[in-house]
Amino acid sequence: MALLEVNDLHVEFTTYGGIVHAVRGVDFAVDEGETLAIVGESGCGKSVTMQSIMGLIPMPPGRITKGTALLQGHDIIQNKIIDGRDIRGNFVGMIFQDPMSSLNPTMTIGAQIAEPLEVHRGYSHRDAMKRAVELLDLVQIPEAAKRSRQYPFEFSGGMLQRSMIAMAIACEPLVLIADEPSTALDVTIQAQILDLVESIQRETGMAIVLITHDLGVVARLADTVTVMYAGEVMEAGSVDDVFYRSAHPYTLGLKEAMPTNQTGRTRQLKPIDGTPPDLFAPPEGCAYAARCPHAMEVCLDHNPDPFAIHDEHRTKCWLHHEDCDVEAEGLFQAA
Amino acid sequence: MVWYTVKRLIQGIITVWFIATATFWAMHQVPGDPFIGEKAVSPEVEANLKARWGLDKPAYEQYAIFLVNMARGDFGISFTQESRSVNEIIQERFPVSAILGILAIVFAGLGGVLYGALTALYRNQWPDVIIILLVIIGISVPSFVFASVGQLVLVTINQILGFTLLPVAGWGDVAHMLVPALVLGLGTMAFLTRLMRSSMLEIVSADFIRTARSKGVPAAQVFSRHQLRNAVLPVITVLGPSVASITTGGFVVENIFGIPGLGQSFVLAVQQSDYGVIMGTTVFYGAFLVLMVIIVDLLYAWIDPRVRLE
Ligand SMILES: Nc1ncnc2c1ncn2[C@@H]1O[C@H](COP(=O)(O)OP(=O)(O)O)[C@@H](O)[C@H]1O
Ligand SMILES: [Mg+2]
């Protein structure tokens, strides 16, 4: 059994325009010391997936209609409390995309880092503040003691994200969820933040779920990858499998749309034509069919179940059906 | 913070000086003369006044005397009530207005924050709809209408009950204060309710609230530590202007309910062309409001660090 295992998660939002089927049967698993990357273009349901696990989506309009998320075997969708303790900030920490707005403007940085220690570990305010200074030091904020008494508006974006990390790891969580932690930051700062997360993981052995749409980041940090599209998992497997033996046309499309910085290699960036489907009324068949260069008749009417390519490598694409004899260019197909 | 306080005080003094100057020259432009006509004061009083205020000297000298007296805290003397100084009148009557005003502000502030939070909690449900409807009435109907209607309702209630539940007018104990204070605070309460509602709705979906919840902070603590403190900020900024509107509203409400406050004496002074009381009271009110705004600003700075450290 994996440390965190999500099965068949479905999330909807009731809006004036109808019901948005934001997440439609997502599965993934992540183990201790492992990094799972969730990739996919914006709006595909990455944030909603992780926020529903953390109980952070507003209900209403949101609703988790189906699925489980097992943390060490406990379903945390049903119950956020394990052994009398809230799992949030305790066993699972989370950092968000926009550090500027993610911290309380009227509380000192130190007090915000201290808060989970007071809530979950029963620290006195004094002790928690002391620990907060150590944590700020750990995330490499200079003059940590002085900084801990300052407010968010006195920090730069990079330092705020470091503080968010300090806050999320204060109680030494088993899992750290990072929702595009570097997207809102300068390119040079991005790398520093990711390095920091990686080095903390090496020390603590926590699992990381990293949401990103930067495939370069995935290649550098992740052990396993889950590719999402229109609220579904299109392909999942180890980094090597998904990158070098891509088995879904959408994964191929993502790769071609990404710039490479390998020297001596120049090629045209190729955007994926079309737009993601309307999540008010998701298509009957494969969600990607309308944009897929290899779409067949079956793709339009029937949504495939995942096919196992080998080991943990799975993909949701009719091209891998045993009766399909289409050879798509560049696509990995099991023998 | 100390520097900020000093800066605000200096600004305040300049503002009061402007108010005093404007009042002085405005009063000089008003037609009429308190020393002629049927309500003229006795010759001794006239001589006394002229000596004290330099009324036989050129206007700019009078202005200088006026400013010096103001600076010393001497607000002048009444032209109609013999031998009474404006300071005495203020001392006697301001406490009454202050009690009424404070009570009105407390009603308005508590009601505004409470109803605002309530409407935000029940957004688009019937408590929200009803309160918002009342808010629209509260904002658009002037306080003298509420005062009259309030009296009418009180009279009716007392008649039906057959005894005096709450007195309809006058001053004395708490029973006299409740209805006038409520009437006086109603407009401000409505305004604050609306402000608090939008502020709460904005904060509920703020990213930092989500962060607090992601830390496992219990709901009650999220509400008190993260939500309320931030949502109440805009309400505090308008408390200064609210004091102003409640103060001026007091002129009317005091008259209708027969409350012997400073507002009532101010209105009386205007009716009687009592220049001394008009000028003294105006400057006093000006200084009071400026001080209130400064106190509110300091309170705001204390709650919001971004202002404090500017
Ligand atoms: N509160 C909400 N109300 C309605 N729809 C929502 C809400 N939150 C998210 N959605 C919808 O859910 C879908 C997935 O969003 P999200 O998970 O944020 O995407 P991303 O993969 O970019 O993180 C989007 O289509 C979005 O419009
Ligand atoms: Mg997102």
pLDDT in tens, A42-96: 889 999 999 999 999 988 889 999 999 999 888 998 888 887 788 999 999 999 9
Residues B149 and B168 in one domain: yes
CB nearest A119 (choices: B205, B207, B217): B217
Which whole number is the average pLDDT over A187-202?
A: 88
Are A68 and A77 in contact by the 8 Å Cβ rule? The answer is: yes
Nearest CA in chain A to B301: A106
Distance (Å, rounded) from C-alpha A239 to C-alpha A223?
6
Q: In this structure, what token pair is assigned to residue B203?
A: 């904060």
Torsion angles phi and psi, residue B249, rounded to 5: -60, -30
Residues B16 and B104 in one domain: no
Cis peptide before A61 (omega within 30 of 0): yes
| Residues with a beta carbon under 5 angstroms from ion ligand 2 | A 47
The verdict on residue B137 lying in a domain is: yes
The verdict on residue B41 lying in a domain is: yes
The verdict on residue B185 lying in a domain is: yes
Torsion angles phi and psi, residue B273, rounded to 5: 55, 45
Q: So what's the pLDDT on residue B299? A: 82
Span of A34-38, A268-272, B198-202, B206-210 with lowest mean pLDDT: A268-272
CB environment A246-272: b (16+ within 10 A), e (fewer): bbbbbbbbbbeeeeeeeeeeeeeeeeb
| CA distances from residue B24 to A215, B33, B221 in whole angstroms, order as listed | 74, 15, 54
Give the distance (Å) from ligand 2 centre to CA of residue B117: 29
Q: In this structure, what token pair is assigned to residue A306?
A: 């995942």
Which amino acid makes up residue B274?
A: D
Which whole number is the average pLDDT over B72-90?
A: 80
Distance (Å, rounded) from C-alpha A216 to C-alpha A229?
19
CB environment B180-206: b (16+ within 10 A), e (fewer): bbbbbbbbbbbbbbbbbbebbeebbeb
Kindly state the helix (H) or strand (E) to which residue A126 belongs, with its residue range.
Answer: helix A125-138
Nearest CA in chain B to A58: B205
**Contact status of B302 with chain A (Cβ, < 8 Å):** no
Name chain B contacts of A98, Cβ cutoff 8 Å: 207
Are A250 and A229 in contact by the 8 Å Cβ rule? The answer is: yes
Q: So what's the pLDDT on residue A323? A: 79
Which amino acid makes up residue A145?
A: A
For an interface test with B, the pick among A16, A96, A106 (most B C-beta atoms closer than 10 Å) comes out as: A106
Q: Looking at ligand 1, which atom is closest to the CA of residue A279?
A: 25
**Would you call A104 and B214 a contact, using CB atoms and an 8 Å cutoff?**
no
Span of A260-264, A277-281, B261-265 with lowest mean pLDDT: A260-264
The verdict on residue B117 lying in a domain is: yes
CA distance A111 to chain B (A): 11
Distance (Å, rounded) from C-alpha B129 to C-alpha B199?
17
Are A144 and A159 in contact by the 8 Å Cβ rule? The answer is: no
Distance (Å, rounded) from C-alpha A135 to C-alpha A123?
15
Distance (Å, rounded) from C-alpha A283 to C-alpha A35?
32
Coil, helix or strand at residue A193: helix
DSSP β-ladder status, A92-95 and A175-179: parallel
Which residues of A make CB contacts under 8 Å with B? 51, 54-56, 58, 80, 85-90, 93-94, 96, 98, 101-108, 115-116, 119-120, 151, 153-154, 164, 167-168
Give the distance (Å) from ligand 1 centre to CA of residue A226: 18
Q: Residue A328 — very low, low, confident or very high, per pLDDT cuts 50/70/90?
A: confident
CB atoms inside a 10 Å sphere around CB A326? 11
Give the ligand whose atoms come closest to the C-alpha of residue A277. Answer: 1
Of A14, A38, A13, A9, the residue nearest A24 (C-alpha): A9
Residues B167 and B198 in one domain: yes
Which single residue is written with the structure tokens 């997440």? A23
Are B89 and B78 in contact by the 8 Å Cβ rule? The answer is: yes
Residue B282 CB contacts under 8 Å (≥ 6 apart), including other chains? B19, B23, B266
**Would you call B309 and A58 a contact, using CB atoms and an 8 Å cutoff?**
no
Q: Across all residues in chain A, what is the average pLDDT?
A: 89
Which single residue is written with the structure tokens 């066993």? A91
Distance (Å, rounded) from C-alpha B152 to C-alpha B141?
16
| The pLDDT of residue A264 is above 60 | no
Residues B154 and B189 in one domain: yes
Residues B287 and B228 in one domain: no
Distance (Å, rounded) from C-alpha A163 to C-alpha A95?
10
Residues B97 and B81 in one domain: no
**Would you call B306 and A151 a contact, using CB atoms and an 8 Å cutoff?**
yes
Q: So what's the pLDDT on residue B37? A: 60
Check: CATH 3.40.470.10 for A4-222? no
Give the distance (Å) from ligand 1 centre to CA of residue B66: 67
The verdict on residue B270 lying in a domain is: no
DSSP β-ladder status, A175-179 and A224-229: unpaired
Nearest CA in chain B to A171: B215
Q: So what's the pLDDT on residue A254? A: 87
Of A197, A193, A5, the residue nearest A93 (C-alpha): A197
Are B108 and B188 in contact by the 8 Å Cβ rule? The answer is: yes
CB atoms inside a 10 Å sphere around CB A234? 27
Per residue in B228-246, pLDDT (tens digit) is 888 888 888 888 788 888 8
**Contact status of B216 with chain A (Cβ, < 8 Å):** yes
**Would you call B225 and A107 a contact, using CB atoms and an 8 Å cutoff?**
yes
Find out whether the beta carbon of A44 lies less than 6 Å from any atom of ligand 1. yes
Residues B58 and B98 in one domain: no
Distance (Å, rounded) from C-alpha B267 to C-alpha B259?
12
Are A16 and A27 in contact by the 8 Å Cβ rule? The answer is: no
DSSP β-ladder status, A35-39 and A207-211: parallel
CA distance B223 to chain A (A): 12
CA distance B293 to chain A (A): 22
- What is the Cβ-side half-sphere exposure of residue B244, based on CA atoms within 13 angstroms? 13
Residues B111 and B148 in one domain: yes
Which amino acid makes up residue B155?
A: V
Distance (Å, rounded) from C-alpha B39 to C-alpha B232?
52
The verdict on residue B304 lying in a domain is: no
Find out whether the beta carbon of A42 lies less than 6 Å from any atom of ligand 1. yes
Which whole number is the average pLDDT over A204-232?
A: 91
The verdict on residue B146 lying in a domain is: yes
| The pLDDT of residue A39 is above 70 | yes
**Domain range holding B78?**
2-88+277-292
Q: Across all residues in chain B, what is the average pLDDT?
A: 84
Residues B23 and B111 in one domain: no
Residues 222-261 of B with CB under 8 A from A: 225-226, 229-230, 233
Nearest CA in chain B to A166: B215
**Contact status of B305 with chain A (Cβ, < 8 Å):** yes
CA distance B199 to chain A (A): 15
Longest CA span, chain B = 80
Per residue in A149-169, pLDDT (tens digit) is 999 999 998 899 999 999 999
| The pLDDT of residue B41 is above 70 | no
For an interface test with A, the pick among B210, B211, B310 (most A C-beta atoms closer than 10 Å) comes out as: B211
**Overall number of domains in chain B:** 2
Residues B70 and B117 in one domain: no
Which of A31-35, B93-97, B286-290 reaches the highest mean pLDDT? A31-35
Name chain B contacts of A52, Cβ cutoff 8 Å: none
Give the distance (Å) from ligand 2 centre to CA of residue A115: 25
**Would you call A105 and B210 a contact, using CB atoms and an 8 Å cutoff?**
no
Structural domain boundaries in chain A? 4-222, 229-236+243-320
**DSSP per position, chain B:** -HHHHHHHHHHHHHHHHHHHHHHHHHHHHSS--TTSSTTPPPHHHHHHHHHHHTTTS-HHHHHHHHHHHHHTT---B-SSSTT-BHHHHHHHHHHHHHHHHHHHHHHHHHHHHHHHHHHHHTTTSHHHHHHHHHHHHHHHS-HHHHHHHHHHHHHHHHHHHTS-SS-SS--SSHHHHHHHHHHHHHHHHHHHHHHHHHHHHHHHT-HHHHHHHHTT--HHHIIIIIIIHHHTHHHHHTHHHHHHHHHHHHHHHHHHTT--SHHHHHHHHHHTT-HHHHHHHHHHHHHHHHHHHHHHHHHHHHH-HHHHT-
Give the ligand whose atoms come closest to the C-alpha of residue A48. Answer: 1
Residues B228 and B147 in one domain: yes
Distance (Å, rounded) from C-alpha B115 to C-alpha B162?
33
Residues B101 and B56 in one domain: no
Q: So what's the pLDDT on residue A209? A: 95
Q: Residue B111 — very low, low, confident or very high, per pLDDT cuts 50/70/90?
A: very high
- In total, chain A counts a number of residues equal to 335
CB nearest B205 (choices: A58, A85, A164): A58
